[in-house]
Amino acid sequence: MNTLGPPDPAVGRSGESPRGSEGSAGSEDEAAGPSVLTLTLNPTVDLAWEVERLTAVGKSRARVRSVAAGGGGINVARGVVRLRGRATAVHTAGGEAGLRLNRLLNAEGIDHVAVDIEDETREALVLFETERRHSYHIVPPGPRVNAHEGMRCLDVLERAAGDHPYVVASGSLPHGLSPDFYALAARRIRKAGSRLILDTSGPALSGALTEGVFLLRCNRTEATSLTGRDIRSLDDARAVNEHLLTTGAAEVAVTTVGALGAVCSTGHGHTELHAPPLPGEPLSDAGAGDGMVAAIAARLTAGDDPVSATTLGVAVAAAAMLTPSTEPFDPEVARSLRPEVRARFHARP
């Protein structure tokens, strides 16, 4: 089903162009209901390698663990599908790496729409050292996306958004786009009658705050950049969320504090969600944030309230800590951890 209006020659869809693609809509036993739409402006081809131990002299022999499409919104779409939801990923794609990105998404069966750009899509390296069980995530800045290419992304997003109650914009802005790009996206998404869930950082985060979004997710580093004070506790996170709600930056604010958990704040109050104890050794936090956002988006789309959705998000983030590098979380582990997430409510002043 084509929900994007008249075709744009720079927008790739399956069966129309080898440069862009829209993957399979999923299996017949997939959960019914609305789909989550995601936006990834700076995607990656994630190369995951494994070495026994890095050596300073000579060669470190590596084994290829996986090659997968990555980037915030793509990872969120993958997480939604793993939680038995439906998702479509809108993303940029350029050069040979962009072609590879499209092929990987097609092979994985993730529904997607690629917007062509001139510069090359980035490749990122995840290196897992088995002896010390430690991950290194090496990420280049990525391509330059010009204003015209950015507007095409917004046009595609707006045309698609009307068929999706929630849109997730996740990840960094590539070079060439203005810091208020996500604010422009929020305006378009609201016009289409959808709600924006935003997960970004740096100038892209501060540039979006004036427009107001439905749900804003920050980790403690991002929250520190907004407030200028270290976020070390759930009390600190609650103060950040109160500021975001009071200033109209978001209707719902979710701030995470590493292994402590997260605070989900709405007009009704602030709910501390304490992370569950892990049933194993933590290996990497690389996919925890995207997994949390995927759970929030999937459950909101299914009709849950924000606190309930974020509760599953905390469990998914914990499950993601148990997988090496950027490997996806185990949904069954996440569901088993959900009852262990402890909640404590604080009324707003």
Give the separation between CA 345 and CA 333, rounded to whole angstroms.
26
Q: What pLDDT shows up at residue 100?
A: 98
Residue whose structure tokens are 């897992």: 128
Give the separation between CA 97 and CA 143, rounded to whole angstroms.
11
Mean pLDDT of each 10-residue bin along the chain, 349 residues long: 39 40 36 85 95 88 92 97 97 98 97 98 92 86 96 96 96 95 96 97 92 95 92 96 96 96 97 95 85 98 97 97 83 96 95
Beta strands in the chain (DSSP E): 11-12, 36-40, 44-51, 62-70, 87-93, 111-116, 122-129, 134-138, 166-170, 195-199, 213-218, 250-256, 261-266, 269-274, 342-347
**Does residue 135 contact residue 288 with C-beta atoms inside 8 Å?**
no
Question: Can you say whether the dihedral through the CA atoms of 101, 286, 109, 4 is positive or negative?
Answer: negative
Give the separation between CA 330 and CA 317, rounded to whole angstroms.
10
**Does residue 110 contact residue 130 with C-beta atoms inside 8 Å?**
no
Give the separation between CA 256 and CA 265, rounded to whole angstroms.
12
Q: Is 290 a catalytic residue?
A: yes
Q: What pLDDT shows up at residue 254?
A: 98
State the DSSP string of 296-329: HHHHHHTT--HHHHHHHHHHHHHHHTTSSTTPPP
Burial level of 9, CB count in 10 A (0-12/13-18/19+)?
Answer: exposed
Angle between helices 234-246 and 220-227 (to 10 degrees): 60
Q: How many CA atoms lie within 13 A of 289 on its CB side?
A: 24
Residues 6+ apart with CB under 8 A from 343: 271, 272, 273, 274, 307, 311
**What are the residues facing 66 on neighbouring strands?**
48
Q: What pLDDT shows up at residue 250?
A: 97
CA angle 180, 248, 241 (to 5 degrees): 100
CB atoms near residue 73 (< 10 Å): 29
Q: Supply 239's token pair.
A: 């103060």
Question: Which is catalytic among the residues 46, 116, 199, 290?
Answer: 290
